């Protein structure tokens, strides 16, 4: 039987992977029944969430000059 493991991430997702393939898989290339041998937990986020997050801060964000906001907006804020 192949050895499977499950990793639970802090973001709520989980991953099931094979820790080791048994000789039968090497011969037939057929996966055995998934039998999770051990489960581990990490507070980290899964690769998908991490890649999503790194995309959020736009690289050119710091180049946007917000001080050039329209005057009317500043007036409105000042009156409130």
Where on the chain is the footprint of Zn ion (CB under 5 A)? 1-2, 11, 13, 22, 24-25, 32, 46, 49
Task: Round to the nearest angstrom and report the end-to-end CA distance of the chain.
Answer: 69
Q: Which is nearer to Zn ion, 5 or 32 (CB)?
A: 32
Determine the Cα–Cα distance for residues 69 and 52; give it in Å rounded to an integer.
Answer: 29
CB of 58 to Zn ion, least distance (A): 21
Q: Which is nearer to Zn ion, 13 or 74 (CB)?
A: 13
CB of 11 to Zn ion, least distance (A): 3
């Amino acid at each position: 039987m192949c050895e499977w493991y499950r990793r639970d991430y802090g973001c709520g997702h989980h991953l099931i992977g094979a820790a080791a393939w048994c000789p039968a898989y090497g011969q037939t290339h057929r996966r055995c029944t998934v039998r999770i041998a051990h489960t581990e937990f990490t507070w980290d986020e899964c690769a998908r969430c991490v890649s999503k997050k790194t995309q959020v801060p736009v690289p050119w964000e710091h180049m946007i000059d917000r001080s050039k906001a329209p005057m009317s907006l500043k007036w409105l804020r000042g009156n409130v």
